[in-house]
Amino acid sequence: MKRFPFWLRAATSLMLISIALFVLGAVFFTPTSADRNWTTVVLLTLAIVLGIYAVLALVLRLAGIDVDSPDLAREISSDDPLAEALLDRWLRRSRYYRFMGGFLGLLVGLPMGSILTATLAGIAAGGAVAEIHFLRRRRSTTAIAALRVRRLRDYADVVDAAAMAVVVLGAFAVLIVVGLGHGSSLSAPHALTAVAVIVGAASMQFFVASRRRPAVRRELREADDLLRFLASTHGFARPAIALCFLLLGSAFAGGDPEGVLAGVSLLATVTGLFWWYRARHGRIPALARTRSR
Amino acid sequence: MSDSLRPAELRELDELIPPPMRPWQKLLIALVLIGLGIGWMVLYIGGWVVPRNPSDGYYGAQFHVADREEGLLGLRLTVPNHGRRDLRLTDVEFDAPGVEVVRVEVIDIPRPDPVAEPVQDGTPRAVQPVDLDAYYATEPAVPFPVDLPATDTSDRDEDAHVIIWLRPTSCVDPSVPWGKVSITLDFGEGAFPPLSKTYRGEWEAWSPGELMTVYDGSTSIRGEGPLSLACEVAR
């Protein structure tokens, strides 16, 4: 039941976009004869109102106004208000960086004709940048550090780790295909890029897991563990994995447009799209529940 | 939510996650990043970053002319540069078994003015007369690179027209398929960025069993495929 507002908002946005497109289409295709002028005026007014709404929504989003974060934080946190405030702060930060990264990726990828891969690369990069705040950390006011050992596997998802291994194996398969004389001129660069992205994502997971933490009370520590887990999975690893599968898809596609490699390419692309679905914001509560189990 | 927290609690949060930026700071950063993104779009579309043209390729290779006296088939490549930066055509590669390249020429084809045909069924139709003489270059073979000056999209006069003259080496199996054509563009010697880009295109559309036709100035020559056509010309 708590998911209802999310779907409602998504449906509202889709509905508004559909109405806006319909209205704009109607404005441009309505005959301009005198007896139909009133229709044009009404539709034009509606289009302007919707346009202003869309621009305002974008400006608010760019200014970091995030109306969903408090609800999400409440849903995934314990009853402790401080833990909830911590998760809310992380969600606002991570979602803002991911949105900005994705938006910038969209702008960069648009003229290059690679919108999806560039947007995913932007989301993954944004999610990773949101976690490197420890580089400019101020001098700690807390004299006590938590000495509990934190391991990477405590914060990484097993299925994600398996997918990362599959990407590396897939990249080697692409290189073998290229070595056998198949593949396009972009196959090897795409495969090597995928490996580099996986290495980068795994390194970031390690940094997030091992980033220092002062001794704080149990509720805050648990919330911090949860946000590290969310950062290591939802934050940047899953968009990075989705990106890598799409890269492998295009790498295999250049090999043999009609044969077995075309099937492998399709499989890699579909897997990439599935991981993209797993990286969506709406998946955060479900992901948090897997952590609490 | 953070408003209800005490200063000591806020400090505790700050230890774990940095305090959030103010909305105007975020908006400023966003606008700067969007400005950079739009700048990239302008540079990329204008062809300043990567050698490109609007179609991100070229118009394909066409078998346009034949030289019956020498037995050569002329393959025409039209390479436009509609970007805002001068380019060079540095290489043309193609996979065409059964033929050899005799010479490569760059020709200058003036853009013909449309001529209105007589009105038919009340609808005037514009046609472009073809001056076949223009395809027979009198210039000597031009070695690569070939300069492609930047031009406006409405002016196609500056397109580079490359004629590659081919002679068949084997007509045993004239139905053998041909691969793709690749052209490579760059910005020139010492230019920044020192990038080159290769575009791959198709030969003239042809499906097995279909007749291809080429005009030698007086008669049409037909062949079942590109190599078959080259063999017919050489006959």
| Same domain membership, residue A95 and residue A50 | no
If you ran DSSP here, which 8-state letter would residue A222 be given? Answer: H
Q: Are residues A201 and A259 in the same domain?
A: yes
pTM for this model (two decimals)? 0.75
**More confident call, A259 vs B70:** B70
Contact B30 A92 (CB under 8 A): no
C-alpha torsion sign, points A244, A250, A254, A260: positive
Q: Which residues pair with B65 in a beta bridge?
A: B74, B215
Residue A176 lies in a domain: yes
Of A81, A104, A220, the CB nearest to B33: A104
Query: Is residue B119 scored above 60 in pLDDT?
Result: no
Å between A176 CA and nearest CA of chain B: 22
Alpha helices in chain A (DSSP H): 4-29, 37-62, 69-76, 81-112, 115-129, 158-179, 187-210, 218-230, 237-253, 260-278, 284-292
Token output for A75: 């849903």
Instruction: Determine the pLDDT at residue A91.
Output: 92
Number of separate domains in chain A: 2
A260 lies in the same domain as A287:
yes
**Taking CB atoms and an 8 Å cutoff, what residues of chain B touch A189?**
none
- pLDDT tens for B168-189 read 888 888 777 777 777 888 888 8
CB A133 within 8 A of CB A96: no
pLDDT per residue, tens digit, chain A (293 aa), is: 344 455 556 566 666 777 777 766 666 666 555 555 677 777 777 777 787 888 888 888 889 888 888 888 888 887 788 889 999 999 999 999 999 999 999 999 998 888 999 999 999 999 999 998 766 655 555 556 666 667 777 888 899 999 999 999 999 999 998 888 887 778 899 999 999 999 999 999 999 988 888 878 888 888 898 999 999 998 899 999 999 999 999 888 866 666 778 888 899 999 999 998 887 766 777 777 776 65
User: In chain A, whose CA is at the least distance from the CA of B197?
Assistant: A185
Which residues of A fall within a CB distance of 8 Å from B13? 82, 85-86, 89
Do the chains contact at A224 and B21, CB–CB below 8 Å?
A: no
Cβ separation A185–B33 shorter than 8 A: no
ipTM: 0.77
**Whether residue A218 sits in one domain with residue A277:** yes
Question: What is the distance between the alpha carbons of residues B198 and B89, in angstroms, rounded to a whole number?
Answer: 10
**Apex A45 CA angle, A43 and A47, nearest 5:** 70
Q: What is the dihedral of CA B102, B103, B104, B106, to 10 degrees?
A: -130
Last residue of a domain, one of A63, A78, A97: A63
In this structure, are strands B220-223 and B72-79 parallel, antiparallel, or unpaired? Answer: unpaired
DSSP letters, B11-48, are: HHHHHHSPPPPPHHHHHHHHHHHHHHHHHHHHHHHTTS
Domain span at residue A39 reads 1-63
Query: Binning pLDDT at 50, 70 and 90, where does residue B99 land?
Result: confident
- Domain final residue pick, A11, A46, A63: A63
Residues A59 and A197 reside in one and the same domain: no
The pair phi, psi for residue A277, each rounded to 5°, is: -60, -40
Q: Let me know whether A37 and A182 are in one domain.
A: no
Compute the nearest-CA separation of A77 from chain B (Å): 14
pLDDT band with cut points at 50, 70 and 90 for residue B39 = very high
Q: Which helix (H) or strand (E) holds B230?
A: helix B226-234
Residue A141, domain member (yes or no): no
And the tokens for B159?
């397109």
Whether residue B37 and residue A107 make contact (CB cut-off 8 A), yes or no, is: yes
pLDDT number for residue B124: 44
